Structure 1
């Protein structure tokens, strides 16, 4: 098995994580409802992230994301300082503005928590 790579690029300040419990519900005819956690990893976690800067800062991030192809997990320490495994699907790169140092870009991507058996 290939060694896991670590994503270590700093996102813009203000990333907000979303945490959602994964549950199963059964509603019975008499009004009784039974709810239980679904599986051993019963919480979804996602982090929409934004990176901004010149191309020489954005290009290694694009290369990292393309290398992992949306399904290969990587290590990342989230803003709560918890090291975990994550996947990143689609991402967007937008040219923003030009300044004295050249053109800047914004990259937007969402990391979702991954679990290994």
Structure 2
């Protein structure tokens, strides 16, 4: 498994959106439970700003080749398996690129 080793910029944002199942009953009562063993996947919004073209292109090539699953240690120091369903590249300066991506935690790949 490939490992993502580039250092992100400060300001990475963690989002946790638990998956649940809910049963509603006719009297207004409802029951809700977590959906499965890994029901709290983490998502990190990452930014790699003002990188030279070589580094930005290396990040983009890695994501293109490994977007379904790769190993990565998050900003909190927790290792895991991740995927990147979409990423963006911009050119804020003539000799620099910025890459933004969202890493989603995956299980069992």
Normalised by the size of structure 2, how large is the TM-score?
0.93
**Which runs of structure 2 are paired with 1:10-49 in the superposition (5 Å)?**
10-49=7-46
Please give the alpha-carbon distance, in whole angstroms, between the structure 1 residues aligned to 2:10 and 2:38: 28
Please give the alpha-carbon distance, in whole angstroms, between the structure 2 residues aligned to 1:29 and 1:50: 47
- Secondary structure class of the residue paired with 2:84: strand
1:29-85 residue CA offsets vs partner (Å, 9 max, x unmatched)? 1121111110111112111111121112211111111111x32x1111011110000
Range with greater deviation from structure 2 (9-18 or 52-61): 52-61
Poorly superposed stretches of 4+, deviation over 2 Å: none
Residue 52 of structure 2: aligned partner: 54
1:6-46 residue CA offsets vs partner (Å, 9 max, x unmatched)? 10100111101101111101110112111111011111211
Normalised by the size of structure 1, how large is the TM-score?
0.87
| Structure 1 unmatched ranges of 5 or more | none
| Structure 2 unmatched ranges of 5 or more | none
